[in-house]
Amino acid sequence: MTAGLDRIGVLGGTFDPVHNGHLVLAQAARREFALDRVWLIPAAQPPHKLDEPVTPFAHRAAMLELALADQPALAVNRMEEQRPGPSYSVDTLRELRARLGPACALYFIIGSDAFVELASWKNFSDLFRYADFLVAERPDSAPGQLNNLINRLPGGFKYDSEHNRWTHPHGAHLYPLPVNAFLVSSTTIRRKIRAGEDISRLLPPPVAAYIRKHQLYR
């Protein structure tokens, strides 16, 4: 186990580019679940974008480093850069669990938009062997929306009303993560940059400066 870290959150993504919505999500998870550290893990080869242009890993990781420079509880983890082939979450969580050992509380942070697609992920049920899940819920989410999404997944989750969590047969728990939504996407940011629109309120200033310096997304 990493010394001094007993509760670790994992937030994966393409981060092309990282934006304030990612940071709001990571900070909410850290605060609500008393996490020692949240690792933001950029995908080397995003499996859902194998046929799409993706900014080189070095740029995406560098932007993450800049975004987290003043966030001591958040850190970039480049582990997927070392693994050949598509960056599947199940492989990442399996490797992290092997590294950290069974005593470390590992939490996989995911937005509800990505959670909707979970059944299409590689070996998705195995994800629940390695980590608990924190599923982001916006304040304006319809009552019962998360429960409906969970009920659509194969596997037979059981709800525990006392702890407000669902349990997968493999043993992992799934918790709702309340978060004040920051409605932005990397796709929108890239489009705005190409159109010459202002993006200054959508991502950290050092990231915006990096994008200008390297002429990304033009």
Domain that holds residue 209: 7-214
Kindly report the number of other CB atoms within 10 A of residue 161's CB atom: 6
pLDDT number for residue 93: 98
| Cβ atoms of residues 24 and 72 within 8 Å | no
pLDDT number for residue 3: 58
Q: Is residue 59 part of a domain?
A: yes
CATH number at residue 54: 3.40.50.620
Q: How far is CA 173 from the centre of its chain?
A: 17
Q: Is residue 205 part of a domain?
A: yes
Residue spans of beta strands (DSSP E) within the chain? 7-13, 37-42, 74-76, 105-110, 132-137, 158-160, 165-167, 173-178
Q: For residue range 41-53, list pLDDT tens digits in order.
A: 999 999 988 778 9
Q: Is residue 2 part of a domain?
A: no
pLDDT number for residue 48: 84
Q: Is residue 1 part of a domain?
A: no
Q: How many domains does the chain have?
A: 1
Give the span between the Cα atoms of 136 and 31, in whole angstroms: 13
pLDDT number for residue 139: 65
Q: Is residue 149 part of a domain?
A: yes
Give the span between the Cα atoms of 39 and 22, in whole angstroms: 12
**Which residues of the chain fall below pLDDT 50?**
1
pLDDT number for residue 1: 46
pLDDT number for residue 166: 97
Q: What is the pTM of this model?
A: 0.94
pLDDT number for residue 144: 79
